[in-house]
Amino acid sequence: MIGEGATGSGAQGDEEPAIRFEGVGKRYRDGTEAVRELTMDVRRGELVALVGPSGCGKSTILRMVNRLVEPTSGRVVVDGRDTAHVDAVELRRGIGYVIQAGGLLPHRTVRDNVATVPRLLGWDARARRARADELLELVGLEPGLHGRRYPRELSGGQQQRVGVARALAADPPVLLLDEPFGAVDPVVRDRLQAEFRRLQTELGKTALFVTHDLDEAVRLADRIAVLSTGGHLEQYAEPGALLSDPATDFVVQFVGSDRGLRRLAVTPIRPEDLEVPATLAPGDGVAYAATALEVDGRSWGVVLEPDSRELVGWVPRGALTEAMRRGDRAGRVGDWTQPFPVVVQRAETMRSAFSTLLGQELRFLPVLEGTEFLGVLTPDVVHTALRAAPAAPAALPVDGTGTA
Ligand code: ADP
């Protein structure tokens, strides 16, 4: 089965999901039917994105989990308990909630904002402060420096971090995020996304987040739920599967004509897709090398140290034939070897690798795992990889870590 064990969420089979929507509906008092009969599960430790056009019911769905909005039909089950039967205040203490721009209290210091839930839980001042400082550090803020400030004295990205710290304060197993990165500029957003994903995975939190940004969803989520008006679930799938096999016309429209490009972000570099050119050693003679490259059919070869197979560079066939023409039969490959301007690591996504390839003159780049040479990335390789089966996202690093 596609995707089995691919979400990094551990055992999935019979395990109680972290969040279960069972035929959930919401009709607002004015008669607006925001959500009609939604049924879906969020597994423990999973990061799920809700995407869809404005007004399709994403926020309503999210807010029914912590009962900021009460469902009018069906059940929302969190951690095996029907939320309708759990005290709303108690429920919310077990669910972190992050909104745009952090949703911080302007007249409280950063430290007090982070300690909101511990205060509600009756922790003493010292324990609250220690927990707040621990969390500020966790999200990359300096407690001594930022703890005493007020939210307006922080940048948008810093406020967002404080919002995440506050949501984590009581160590809730479930996090809800409503457009968490919507208000920060793109460069900061990339970094915050990557940091959040790392934190969420490390801490093993289940996260449900709303975004209108499909690329954000593709980059972060284990699974994406695409919704249309009325909270109708059009497709619920891993990013790679969603982009390669949109289930309905609505999803096709929604993911857009550039879904091929979007898929690069969830396509791993697989050694079997790489080109394997002729390899030469620096000590090989030019006559031998020229023949080897002619047989191989490429206009270049890769040069490796003979024993360690460590990458030395590449050699253009033209230089070898030119050397031959000039009668330089004693010449060695090493005399004509050029270093690669940049290399690609196998753990990168195809998106960053392809971007690197486009950013420089050579049409081929070596792919390494550590120092081991695996093969060569070319535009053809990118095409082949994209045409192959959808990727298992668990194998992928979070893209964007190289940004900023
Ligand atoms: P999204 O988050 O996808 O933009 P929402 O969940 O905010 O969508 O809204 C879904 C639908 O419910 C929209 O038609 C919206 O106008 C309506 N809606 C949201 N909140 C209320 C409310 N408090 N009262 C009446 N209608 C609402």
Establish if 5 belongs to a structural domain: no
Q: What pLDDT shows up at residue 295?
A: 93
Q: What is the pLDDT of residues 222-275, one digit of tens each?
A: 999 999 999 999 999 999 899 988 999 999 999 887 788 888 888 889 999 999
The model's confidence at residue 389, banded by pLDDT at 50, 70 and 90, is low
pLDDT (tens digit per residue) in 127-141: 999 999 999 998 889
- Is the Cβ atom of 62 under 6 angstroms away from ligand 1? no
Q: Does residue 32 line the site of ligand 1, with CB under 6 A?
A: yes
Query: For the residues 87-112, what does the mean pLDDT come to?
Result: 88
- Residue 403 in this model has a pLDDT that exceeds 90: no
Check: CB of residue 76 under 8 Å from CB of residue 20: yes
Residues 51-76 have pLDDT tens digits of 999 999 999 999 999 999 999 999 99
Task: Report which ligand 1 atom has the smallest distance to the Cα of 53.
Answer: 3
Residue 291: count of CB within 10 angstroms of its CB: 14
Q: Number of folded domains in the chain?
A: 2
Q: Hey, whose CA ends up nearest to atom 6 of ligand 1?
A: 57
- Please name every residue paired with 46 in a beta bridge, in sequence order, or none if there are none: none
Whether 49 is covered by a domain: the verdict is yes
- Tell me if 395 is assigned to some domain: no
User: Same domain for 295 and 314?
Assistant: yes
Which residue segment(s) compose the domain that 90 sits in?
Answer: 19-94+173-266
Query: Is residue 288 within 6 Å of ligand 1 at its C-beta?
Result: no
* pLDDT at residue 280 greater than cutoff 90: yes
Task: Tell me what pLDDT residue 5 has.
Answer: 38
Ligand 1 in contact with 70 (CB < 6 A)?
A: no
Taking CA atoms only, the protein residue closest to ligand 1 atom 1 is: 55
Question: Using a 6 Å cutoff on CB, does residue 60 contact ligand 1?
Answer: yes
Is the CB of 57 within 6 Å of ligand 1?
yes
381 and 305 within one domain? yes
Q: Is the Cβ atom of 360 under 6 angstroms away from ligand 1? A: no
Q: Are residues 51 and 182 in the same domain?
A: yes
Element (H, E) at 21: strand 19-27
Same domain, 235 and 89: yes
CATH number at residue 46: 3.40.50.300
The whole-number average pLDDT for the span 378-393 is 76
245/311 same-domain check: no
Q: What is the DSSP string of 40-71?
A: EEE-TT-EEEEE-STTSSHHHHHHHHTTSS--
- How far away, in angstroms, is 173 Cα from ligand 1 center? 27
- Residue 398 inside a domain? The answer is no
140 inside domain = no
**How far from 182 is each of 65, 104, 259, CA to CA, in Å?**
21, 15, 22
Q: Residue 291: CB partners within 8 Å, gap ≥ 6?
A: none
Task: Judge if 182 and 252 occupy the same domain.
Answer: yes
The response to whether residue 54 sits with its C-beta less than 6 Å from ligand 1 reads yes
Task: Give the pLDDT score at 143.
Answer: 93
Q: Supply the residue whose CA is at minimum distance from atom 11 of ligand 1.
A: 34
